[in-house]
């Protein structure tokens, strides 16, 4: 799962599950697999050699094991393995700052083309904060293009005539760009 906007692209290692289960699901293999998928998928965005920033799981990316050791045991080694495969991955970085470093804003190109985040909310909060109406969910690793609005189905307002179609329109535009290789 990648949530994308013009300013930020985030790929998730874990998706819809409880935080406890998500933390337990962060492993060397899960992180490395996500880095590989993100790297391959970036070609569809015309990024032959994407710069991938990797967010840590813990505050301050664990600060050398002081606040958790997942960065030392799984995330850092997976980043190193990805680099050995020729993937331009860097990190793990503190999750509270890596998204700012990756953000593409007018007059300020991001340091990274995308960020790999460990959990659903770590990764989606910054993209949604930048503009729910522009966010697009892109499913990676499929043999076809699949996009959807980043906010989901909005069942809570279905049939009321109050939904903003902007994210749906953005998801169709992204699908078109991906299909046409633009």
Check residue 108 and give its pLDDT. Answer: 81
In this structure, the number of other CB atoms found within 10 A of the CB of residue 75 comes to: 29
Token pair belonging to 100: 């700012």
For residues 148 and 137, is the Cβ–Cβ distance under 8 A?
yes
For residues 30 and 128, is the Cβ–Cβ distance under 8 A?
no
Q: Name the β-bridge partners of 54.
A: 116
Give CA–CA dist 116/113, Å, rounded.
10
Domain parsing of the chain, residue ranges = 2-180
In this structure, the number of other CB atoms found within 10 A of the CB of residue 140 comes to: 16
pLDDT tens sequence across 44-53: 778 889 999 9
pLDDT tens sequence across 110-142: 999 999 999 988 888 888 888 777 788 888 888
Residue reference for tokens 């522009």? 134
Furthest CA-CA distance within the chain = 53
pLDDT category, 166, cuts 50, 70, 90? confident
The pTM assigned to this predicted structure is 0.89
Class (C level, CATH) for 2-180? alpha beta
């Amino acid at each position: 799962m990648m949530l994308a906007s013009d300013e930020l692209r985030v790929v998730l290692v874990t998706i819809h599950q409880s935080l406890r289960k998500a933390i337990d699901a962060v492993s060397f293999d899960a992180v490395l697999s996500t880095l590989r998928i993100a790297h391959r998928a970036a070609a569809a965005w015309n990024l032959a050699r994407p710069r991938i920033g990797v967010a840590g799981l813990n505050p301050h990316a664990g600060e050398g094991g002081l606040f958790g050791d997942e960065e030392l045991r799984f995330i850092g080694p997976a980043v190193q393995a990805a680099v050995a495969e020729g993937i331009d991955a860097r990190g793990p970085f503190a999750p509270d700052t890596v998204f700012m470093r990756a953000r593409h804003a007018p007059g300020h190109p991001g340091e990274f083309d995308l960020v790999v985040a460990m959990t659903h909310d770590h990764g989606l909060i910054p993209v949604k904060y930048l503009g729910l109406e522009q966010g697009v969910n892109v499913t990676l690793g499929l043999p076809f293009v699949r996009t959807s609005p980043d906010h989901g189905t909005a069942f809570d307002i279905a049939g009321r005539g109050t939904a903003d179609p902007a994210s749906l329109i953005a998801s169709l535009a992204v699908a078109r760009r991906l299909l046409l290789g633009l």
